[in-house]
Amino acid sequence: MGYTVLIPARLASTRLPNKPLADLGGVPMVVRVAQRVRAGVAPTTRVVVAGDSPSILQACQKHGIEAVLTREDHPSGSDRLAEACELLSLADDEIAVNVQGDEPLIDPTLVQAVADLLYKHTTASMGTAAHAIDNVTDFANPNVVKVVLDSANIALYFSRAPIAWWRDGFTQGVQALPDPAPLRHIGIYAYRVGFLRQFPRLPQAPLEVTEALEQLRALWHGYRIAVHVADQAPGPGVDTPEDLERVRNLLLHHGTTAVS
């Protein structure tokens, strides 16, 4: 079924300036993301970069990637996506998938799986993904966001804390993983476009502020988030110069098959 992939890209980055235009094998990173997604999804899927600078649009146009120019002053990624939906005249009943512009090793099958969630779960307004955590370090790391699900794979809660936590866990500290394995959230989202238009206007939730997790706003206001549990972790994203070098090396030695 058809959907639109939106790839937000902004030049301002404190850790890696001009990140969307960072060179990856002779191609700007945001272009490589779009190319990777477009090569792996159905031909009917529209892939669009939502940039905040004419230089991003020019880079996309040079490589045949559709792009729209959004405002520079959006407070969040969801605001940028909502504007892109308006610029593209997407209907409320369509589906948009948010793929981050700093994920050059994204698996296109993951994009399709997250989009399919909203066709399967008709009462869900959002879809996302997760995978099993296999080590204690990630389980305890507050930068690794965890999610717990119900029996239908609908999110109950997202947290930076190690969840789910077994009753006697505090007697030994975080020294082992609970059973079943906890789930790490993967930052890819599918939205019903009508909900995406509304989402930035919803009041912030107290839990969202506490955890610094925007998706908790949806749960707080009673919206459902369906979750695809992937078999493995996605390839690494790019946040720092060190990340950029790592991905460059992976692409150099493994090409488009690089996943870790």
pLDDT at position 38: 94
Q: What's the rounded mean pLDDT across residues 157-169?
A: 88
Whether pLDDT at 115 is above 60: yes
DSSP per-residue letters across 36-90: HHHHHS-TT-EEEEEESSHHHHHHHHHTT-EEEE--S--SSHHHHHHHHHHHTT-
C-alpha–C-alpha distance, residues 201 and 258, integer Å: 38
C-alpha–C-alpha distance, residues 57 and 28, integer Å: 11
In a domain, 138, yes or no: no
In a domain, 214, yes or no: yes
Whether pLDDT at 250 is above 80: yes
In a domain, 134, yes or no: no
Number of domains in the chain: 1
pLDDT at position 260: 38
- Chain length of the chain: 260
Whether pLDDT at 172 is above 70: no
For residue 40, the domain's CATH number is: 3.90.550.10
In this predicted model, what pLDDT tens digit does every residue of 221-231 receive, in sequence order? 999 999 999 99
- 204-237 burial code (b ≥16 CB/10 A, e <16): ebeebeebebbbbbbbeeebbbbbbebeebbbbb
N-to-C CA span, the chain: 29
Would you call 184 helix, strand, or coil by DSSP? strand
In a domain, 22, yes or no: yes
Give the amino acid at 7. I
pLDDT at position 257: 57
Looking at residue 172, the DSSP 8-state letter turns out to be T
Q: What's the rounded mean pLDDT across residues 132-148?
A: 94
Q: What's the pTM value of the predicted model, to 2 decimals?
A: 0.91
Question: Of all helices (H) and strands (E), which one includes residue 30?
Answer: helix 29-40
Rounded to the nearest integer, the mean pLDDT of the chain is 92
In a domain, 43, yes or no: yes
| Per-residue 3-state assignment (H helix, E strand, C coil) for 210-221 | HHCCCHHHHHHC
pLDDT at position 239: 87
In a domain, 170, yes or no: no
More confidently predicted of 74 and 33: 33
- Give the pLDDT band (50/70/90) at residue 195: very high
Helix axis angle for 29-40 and 108-120, nearest 10°, is 60
Among candidates 218, 198, 200, which has minimal Cα distance to 208?
218
In this predicted model, what pLDDT tens digit does every residue of 1-17 receive, in sequence order? 689 999 999 887 777 88
In a domain, 153, yes or no: no
pLDDT at position 171: 63
In a domain, 180, yes or no: no
Phi, psi dihedral angles at 157 (to 5 degrees): -165, 150
- Give the pLDDT band (50/70/90) at residue 173: low
Residue 102: domain span:
4-125+185-257
